[in-house]
């Protein structure tokens, strides 16, 4: 089944091997997920955080949870 989430913001760790996406679902709820990729492995991004099932009422709430749970994220947002 294809993803129908709309990515609102994608934040990459320097080196662009790890990122966090903040997204909106078709039902109007929000979430986030952490991914990793290896550039030499052409298969793309892989879920590593397993946060995508969590549901938030706002983008701000999803971002706050991501900042608490993804150790490197807060330092990249300033």
Query: What gap in Å lies between CA 63 and CA 56, rounded to an integer?
Result: 9
Encode pLDDT of 8-60 as tens digits: 999 999 888 999 999 999 999 999 999 999 877 778 888 998 998 999 999 99
How far the first Cα of the chain sits from its last, in Å, is 36
pLDDT of 1 reads 45
Give the residue extent of every domain in the chain: 6-77
Query: What gap in Å lies between CA 59 and CA 23, rounded to an integer?
Result: 8
Confidence of residue 77 (pLDDT cuts 50, 70, 90): confident
Residue 61, pLDDT above cutoff 80: yes
Prediction pTM value: 0.86
Residue 2, pLDDT above cutoff 70: no
The CB density around residue 77, as the number of other CB atoms within 10 Å, is 11
Spatial CB neighbours of 41, under 8 Å, sequence gap ≥ 6: none
């Amino acid at each position: 089944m294809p993803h129908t989430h709309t990515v609102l913001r994608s934040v990459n760790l320097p080196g662009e091997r790890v990122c966090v996406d903040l997204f909106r679902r078709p039902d109007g709820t929000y979430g986030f997920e952490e991914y990793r990729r290896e550039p030499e492995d052409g298969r793309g991004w892989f879920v590593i955080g397993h946060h995508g099932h969590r549901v938030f009422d706002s983008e701000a709430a999803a971002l706050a949870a991501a900042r608490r749970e993804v150790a490197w994220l807060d330092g990249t947002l300033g």
